[in-house]
């Protein structure tokens, strides 16, 4: 009998310990699932999220500002000259401190890029600046044409170059070779400065925009 008492006492201790043991944490599996489930793929799934999580997701995925500010056209001023841009050209924030105004020229069907038009001002002779544009084609333009036109008492020099274009955004920016590109540009005299109107892009795009470019240049007026 004296040998049965220790065993009975041990059994009683084990039974008491099981009754007082804490229940399993029901949130443990939920935490694992939360960290391994993928983000919602539909608007309906997103709406089912908790308000706090939905708010955090909205802040993290804030839409980027559109590149084009407007495409209504209208007057633009560069130095002592003002011009009137046609509707359909997308005005955007200038991508360089050397550029006063910049436009996106909508690409033609089949082209992989839009055209780009910039307006800026600087010194230097007309010939020197035309030569500078010419050297942007490697090793030289396959086609080129330079002429002078009279617009409201202004003698404007226009150029039309085609070939493989070294596209460099800024003086220290990297250069990217663009195959089969075309540049249409104009130099407008404005006192001791010159106004540069420079457009370039894929051939089909520039062909589609050539007439609008010529009309744009012909709107040049002294302020």
Asked if residue 196 has pLDDT above 50, the reply is yes
Greater confidence (27 vs 20) lies with 20
For residues 144-164, average pLDDT: 97
Q: Is the model more confident about 19 or about 69?
A: 69
Cα 45 from chain centre: 30
Q: What domains are defined for the chain? A: 25-63 (no CATH), 68-222 (3.40.1000.10)
| Least confident stretch, 3-17, 29-43, 125-139 | 29-43
Q: Is the pLDDT of residue 170 over 50?
A: yes
Can you give the pLDDT at residue 69?
85
Q: What is the pLDDT of residue 50?
A: 37
Looking at residues 37-43, what average pLDDT do you find? Answer: 35
Is pLDDT at 5 greater than 50 in this prediction? no
* Distance, CA of 177 to CA of 184 (rounded, Å): 17
- For the chain, the average pLDDT equals 78
How many CB atoms are closer than 10 A to CB 105?
22
Report CA Rg, the chain: 34
What integer pLDDT is reported at residue 63 of this predicted model? Answer: 42
Mean pLDDT calculated for residue range 168-176: 76
**Residues 92/102, Cβ–Cβ less than 8 Å:** yes
pLDDT digits (tens, 9 = 90+) for 199-221: 999 999 999 999 999 999 999 99
The pLDDT of residue 2 is 47
Residue 52 clears pLDDT 70, i.e. is over it: no
71 burial level (CB within 10 Å; 0-12, 13-18, 19+): middle
145 pLDDT exceeds 70? yes
């Amino acid at each position: 009998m004296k040998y049965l008492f220790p065993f009975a006492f041990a059994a009683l201790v084990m039974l008491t310990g099981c009754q007082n043991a804490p229940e399993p944490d029901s949130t443990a599996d939920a935490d694992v699932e939360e960290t391994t489930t993928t983000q919602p793929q539909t608007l309906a799934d997103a709406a089912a999220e908790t308000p706090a999580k939905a708010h955090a997701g909205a802040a993290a995925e804030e839409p980027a500002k559109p590149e084009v500010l407007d495409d209504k056209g209208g007057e633009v001023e560069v130095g002592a000259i003002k011009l009137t841009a046609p509707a359909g050209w997308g005005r955007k924030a200038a991508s360089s401190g050397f550029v006063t105004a910049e436009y996106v020229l909508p690409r033609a069907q089949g082209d992989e890029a839009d055209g780009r038009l910039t307006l800026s001002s600087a010194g230097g002779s007309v010939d020197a600046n035309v030569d500078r544009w010419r050297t942007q084609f490697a090793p030289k333009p396959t086609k080129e044409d330079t002429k002078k036109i009279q617009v409201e008492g202004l003698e404007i020099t226009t150029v039309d170059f085609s070939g493989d274009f070294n596209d460099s955004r800024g003086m220290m920016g990297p250069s990217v070779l663009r195959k089969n590109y075309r540049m249409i540009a104009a130099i407008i005299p404005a006192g001791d400065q010159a106004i540069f109107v420079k457009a370039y892009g894929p051939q089909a795009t520039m062909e589609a925009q050539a007439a609008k470019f010529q009309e744009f240049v012909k709107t040049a007026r002294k302020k």
